A and B are shown apart, each in its own frame.
Chain A
Amino acid sequence: MDIREIQRLIKLVERSQVSEFEIEEKGLRIRISKNSSHSAQTVIYAPPMPTGMPALPTPEPSPSLPVELPAVTKAGVVEVKSPMVGTFYSALAPDAEPYVRVGDHVEPGRVLCIVEAMKLMNEIEAEIAGTIVEIVPGNAQPVEFGQVLFRVDTSR
């Protein structure tokens, strides 16, 4: 099971009426639970160490999962960059609430913004949990490939 599958499970639990969900696969046990005031929380249990096997590095709890994470700058601040040239939209429509505001806490899978090009509306999702500390482009501003869109403080 990789990080994407785990993220998908979290999303499924968040959207469902299920309050707690547990799965075990190849010695990896994952429990996802939520209550009415919080989004889904994930607890990942390390696989049991079989005796007589070479020592493995101890898996750390989320969010230090073995995935390629976005560029981390100072003190755990992660930059979310634009995957394409286009126009940055902070909301689905001109009169809609913005997807996120500075100070919002986001979980992986939360939509942060839309980058539109060639009438393709591309939702950019958070890949990591943290607090939005900066939204760089203004709404409806053109953005370049690789341009920083958000700075997310993963320590908060």
Chain B
Amino acid sequence: MQALRTRRFGQESLFFEEIDSTNRWLLANEELFRLSGATVVADHQTAGRGRYGRQWHDTQGKSLLFSVLLRPESKASPLGLLSLMAGAAVAHAIGRIDSHFSEKLRLKWPNDVLIDGRKVAGILVESISAGTRSCAVIGVGVNLRQSEDELPKATRWPASSLQMLSANPVSREDLAAEILNDLEAAYDLFQEGRTVELIDPWASLSLPLGTELAVESGGSVIKGIYAGVGTEGQLLLKGTDGTLHGIHSGEILWKDTCDE
């Protein structure tokens, strides 16, 4: 990867033509790697993971799929910020690779990457906590070359691929390198506890403040006005009665399904 300018991230990497899940493999084999930055790349995942057991589908060779191992120091920054940080790194890297996208990119809390309102990349961070020890993997999936037919239909949010949205072909290696460059710089901020600087790149691509949203959280739907994110990465939503909700766990609903 010529564009890779990192000291650690992606410098130690493994490639699998096919694997169940790069996240699962890296978490199960974390003892093999002492430092942050070890990277596992796959051409195809047979059991790609999403939030709470959801599947991440891909067609062989048409996505960028990788996971990076992190060893966050305890109390460096709130762990949940890793999730937003990863979304921002992927979105900004896509914008740099093809400037055609830069005006159309948005981040949907916490870390879905949207272009023209369609999801082109998903991120799942998985971690292990045992006392003061923690280990995390950031799993990234970017839809690169899928056609409409190759994308899953029954998703909660409409999906797309970079190829469907731009005539310029995107190099998988270059995009991976750009993401890893951003991730390493952001992770340094995370370790130094510089949370404001960490959130800034995320906030610059978030929905406009004041956007009306409906969020499914804890089994109920909360409607309100988007009021930014808090220092732990939680979604801030101002309810219709003026109450400010800090939502740590939940999902923004697609506007067409909000009234269901």
Give every chain A residue within 8 A of B125 (Cβ-Cβ). 118-121
CB contact under 8 A between A118 and B84, given known A142-B218, A142-B249? yes
- Measured in the bound complex, the distance between the Cα atoms of B31 and A8 in whole Å is 8
From A25-33, A46-54, A56-64, A86-94, the one touching the partner chain is A86-94
Nearest chain A residue, comparing its CB with the CB of B80: A118
Asked if residues B123 and A119 are in contact (CB atoms below 8 Å), the reply is: yes
From B89-97, B127-135, B148-156, B207-215, the one touching the partner chain is B127-135
B-facing residues in A105-150 (Cβ within 8 Å): 108-109, 111, 116-127, 140-142
CB contact under 8 A between A109 and B53, given known A118-B234, A119-B111, A142-B218? no
Please pick, from A7, A109, A118, A140, the residue contacting B248 in the complex, using a CB distance under 8 A: A118
Asked if residues A121 and B126 are in contact (CB atoms below 8 Å), the reply is: yes
* Cβ of B107 to closest chain A Cβ, rounded Å: 12
Give every chain B residue within 8 A of A100 (Cβ-Cβ). none
Q: Say whether chain B's binding surface is mostly helix, strand, loop, or mixed.
A: mixed
Asked if residues B233 and A118 are in contact (CB atoms below 8 Å), the reply is: yes
Q: Does B161 contact A (CB under 8 A)?
A: no
Nearest chain B residue, comparing its CB with the CB of A121: B126
Asked if residues A125 and B31 are in contact (CB atoms below 8 Å), the reply is: no
* Cβ of B197 to closest chain A Cβ, rounded Å: 18
* B92-114 contact mask (Cβ, 8 Å, vs A): 1 or 0: 00000000000000000011000
* Cβ of A137 to closest chain B Cβ, rounded Å: 11
Give every chain B residue within 8 A of A83 (Cβ-Cβ). 79, 129
* B120-164 contact mask (Cβ, 8 Å, vs A): 1 or 0: 000111111111110010000000000000000000000000000
* Cβ of B105 to closest chain A Cβ, rounded Å: 18
Give every chain B residue within 8 A of A6 (Cβ-Cβ). none
Give every chain B residue within 8 A of A118 (Cβ-Cβ). 80-81, 83-84, 110-111, 125, 232-234, 248-249
Q: Does B186 contact A (CB under 8 A)?
A: no
- Measured in the bound complex, the distance between the Cα atoms of B200 and A38 in whole Å is 50
Asked if residues B80 and A125 are in contact (CB atoms below 8 Å), the reply is: no
Nearest chain A residue, comparing its CB with the CB of B31: A8
- Measured in the bound complex, the distance between the Cα atoms of B79 and A118 in whole Å is 9
Asked if residues A11 and B51 are in contact (CB atoms below 8 Å), the reply is: no
Q: Does B219 contact A (CB under 8 A)?
A: yes
Please pick, from B51, B84, B233, the residue contacting A121 in the complex, using a CB distance under 8 A: B51
Give every chain A residue within 8 A of B61 (Cβ-Cβ). none
Nearest chain A residue, comparing its CB with the CB of B135: A123
Give every chain B residue within 8 A of A125 (Cβ-Cβ). 128-130
Give every chain B residue within 8 A of A15 (Cβ-Cβ). 28
Q: Does A84 contact B (CB under 8 A)?
A: yes
- Measured in the bound complex, the distance between the Cα atoms of B27 and A120 in whole Å is 14
Asked if residues B31 and A12 are in contact (CB atoms below 8 Å), the reply is: yes
Task: Pick from A11, A96, A123, A127 the residue with the most CB of B within 10 Å.
Answer: A123
Task: Pick from A68, A91, A96, A142 the residue with the most CB of B within 10 Å.
Answer: A142
Give every chain B residue within 8 A of A117 (Cβ-Cβ). 79-80, 232-234, 248-249
14 CB < 8 A contacts A-B: A67-B131, A84-B78, A85-B234, A85-B248, A93-B54, A108-B130, A117-B79, A118-B110, A120-B80, A120-B126, A121-B125, A121-B127, A124-B130, A127-B131
Q: A8-B31, A117-B248, A142-B248 are in contact. List 8 more A-B contacts (CB 8 A).
A: A85-B234, A87-B248, A120-B125, A120-B136, A121-B51, A123-B128, A140-B218, A140-B219
